[in-house]
Amino acid sequence: MLVLIVSPTSKNTQLPKQNDEKINEYQRMSYNVKLANVEISDILRKISFLLELDNDIDNNKTNLNFKNRAYIKAADQIDNLPLSITSLYEERGINGLLQIPSIGKAISSKIEEYIKTGKIEYYEILKSKYPIKVDDFVGLEGIGPKTLRVIIDKLPVRSLSDLEKAAREGKLNGISGISKKKEERILKRIELHNIGKKRHLLGDIYPLVKQIEKYLTNLENVSIVTAVGSFRRMRETIGDIDFLVVSDNPDKVINSFVNMPEVKEILSKGDTKAFIKLNNGLDSDLLVVPKESYGAALQYFTGSKEHGIALRRLAQSNALRLNEWGLFDNKSNQKISGESEEQLYNKLGLEWIPPELRENRGEIEIAKKGSKEWQEKMKGLLKYGDIKGDLQVHSNSTDGKMSIEEMAYFARTNFDLDYIAITDHTKSLRIARGLDEQQLLDQAHKIQEFNDSIKSGTFFVDLNKHDEEKQVNRKTSNNEKKRIKGDRNLGDFRILSSAEVNILSDGSLDIPNNILDKLDIVGAAIHTNFSQPIDVQTNRLIKAAQNPSVDIVFHPTGRIINKRDGYPVDIPKLMTIAKETNTILEIDSHYNRLDLRDEYIRMAIQNDVKLVVDSDAHHPLHYAFLEFGIGQARRGWAGRNDILNTLPVSELLKKLK
């Protein structure tokens, strides 16, 4: 997984400020540097996968589990490392690698080997025992090493296509532990996985797009650069990356574009157009247009295809012709508009339509020029920067990466949030070290102490550990380890006590109400038993929504984009119950979830169901995911009044059950 770095897209965008070295280091790092870290973390994950696949490599199962987890932990640390691991090694050698948490002598020596030679012999040995395409199976949802081991012992399955063929022929059914239903699920997961190869997650490519945009913007004679297509519309997945450039020197722009270090192959190159394949496998187009045609080209290449067709039909009905070069009068062939999108829409008798709404879902019919309904919708449409608080934040008490006070500090100082809710997992989710009743109460008490210290101006956080140089150097002298406050005053910031309570298979919660009622706000979510039928899954969510202690249902459908569709849910029925019980539904902003879907968001709004946009942050950098949740909410036509965490915390709390 690529670490997400979001660069500002507008003055209202909710993104990191420029006052923190750690966050800025992520922004300064090139995409290729991050990719180098990911290459190393990926190979460590493959080693972990093969260790579990080769469960006979150690007779001691406990030792095997320890080794397996060690590689996963090391990979996680490298994914979140705020600097190039290669640069760290070049500066400090293997001792520098040893300063990274969760990386010991064995793993550091393997990282050193990879940096020096481009491979790890231990990984090659593991691969030789199983001549399979490891890349095909690592990260494939629903098919872990144990299941794969059973399959490859019985069938000549060596690749994902082999597995798909065996499943379609019904050969998996009957193998130990694989029922007909599981075989069908495996097929579905393979289909999603194949889609994921064609369409990349928005959050995965966001840093690369912003880097290329910046690179092109800095070229001489370039006045405008815009990433268009699905990216501009904030779709959850992207098929390719398209750039539109205004320049009076197209030849220089084209040559600079095709010679970027990110380019793997030049597919075509012309006077004003270029088509390339990037190192990550994505195709990318660039078109240079004159300023007088920029607006028409911007509309045309932003899409969607269906929206564009509807606009062209509207133009035809008015004896006009619309294409990427402008809007023309059919009789005189005179150009009527083309320099700006706003003018183009106006000439078609429409108000300007935000890119996120351009899916031909009724926006053209409503956006008639002068329409009061449209003006009201646009006046209230959720904007980037409208979110005041984040109601799903995790700390290192469970599976988060930093402490409560650290998550609070960065939420305020780097993302301008006014409040967060600490929603650590609860006891039945053992994989996340979920909290029991007493631990929740202890955490709530600790949060109250933090809030008291914020009010009194005595709140502090040890920023020493967020200094890059000292973060990886545990030999820092005690004299340098200072508690820093002063300008760290968080003002009226508030931390809410909360939890992400686990919804059990029967719809009950794993924490009793008398404990939950002592918290400020409560979220509930399904994390297990995804394969239950639709009526059972829907009733689980309904029972949770009907619980008077539950304020929010987190990631309501449980989907992981390109990996699993989520559990089956009767969404209209859930919406009805949510409205009746005053239960909030969440828009989880993590770019691999974006749950709710945009069409469900619009359904919720039409049914007067209240929503929140949360980051699901497990690290301070994850607050930047809010941009994706806001984009998703806008795609669902959400207004500020539909999203409760646009409110100040005092008003938000009044809206709860």
Structural domains of the chain in order of their starting residue, each with its CATH number: 31-197 (1.10.150.110), 201-372 (3.30.460.10), 389-654 (3.20.20.140)
Predicted local confidence at residue 487, as pLDDT: 40
Check: CB of residue 565 under 8 Å from CB of residue 605.
no
For the segment 312-333, the average pLDDT, to the nearest whole number, is 95
Q: Beta strand 584-588 with 611-614: parallel, antiparallel or unpaired?
A: parallel
Predicted local confidence at residue 311, as pLDDT: 97
* pLDDT tops 70 at residue 488: no
* pLDDT tops 50 at residue 129: yes
The confidence band for 555, taking pLDDT boundaries of 50, 70 and 90, is very high
The confidence band for 37, taking pLDDT boundaries of 50, 70 and 90, is confident
pTM: 0.79
Predicted local confidence at residue 65, as pLDDT: 67
C-alpha span between 12 and 416 (Å, rounded) = 12
Query: Which of 287-291, 332-336, 469-473, 647-651 is least confident?
Result: 469-473
* pLDDT tops 80 at residue 418: yes
Q: How many beta carbons lie within 10 A of that of residue 42, not counting itself?
A: 18
pLDDT tens figures, 376-385: 999 999 999 9
Contacts of 48 (CB under 8 A, 6+ apart): 68, 69, 71, 72, 75
Predicted local confidence at residue 306, as pLDDT: 96
**Count of all residues that appear for the chain in the document:** 657
* pLDDT tops 70 at residue 62: no
Q: Can you tell me which residue has the tokens 């932990």?
A: 73
The confidence band for 67, taking pLDDT boundaries of 50, 70 and 90, is confident
Predicted local confidence at residue 19, as pLDDT: 35
Angle at the Cα of 340 (from 334 to 342), degrees rounded to 5?
105
Report which of 597, 579, 577 is spatially closest to residue 588, judged by C-alpha positions. 597
Q: Can you tell me which residue has the tokens 């009201």?
A: 376
Predicted local confidence at residue 24, as pLDDT: 36
**Which one is predicted more confidently, 72 or 392?**
392
The confidence band for 63, taking pLDDT boundaries of 50, 70 and 90, is low
pLDDT tens figures, 174-232: 787 788 888 888 888 887 777 666 788 999 888 889 989 999 999 999 999 999 999 99
Name the range with the highest mean pLDDT among 17-26, 203-212, 384-393. 384-393
Query: Which of 218-222, 420-424, 475-479, 621-625 is least confident?
Result: 475-479
Predicted local confidence at residue 34, as pLDDT: 53
For the segment 72-97, the average pLDDT, to the nearest whole number, is 82
* pLDDT tops 80 at residue 632: yes
Kindly report the average pLDDT of the chain as a whole number. 86
Which DSSP letter does residue 244 get?
A: E
C-alpha span between 590 and 616 (Å, rounded) = 6
Contacts of 479 (CB under 8 A, 6+ apart): none
Predicted local confidence at residue 650, as pLDDT: 96
Share of the chain above pLDDT 90, in %: 59
Predicted local confidence at residue 343, as pLDDT: 96
Q: Can you tell me which residue has the tokens 């007493």?
A: 438
Predicted local confidence at residue 467, as pLDDT: 44
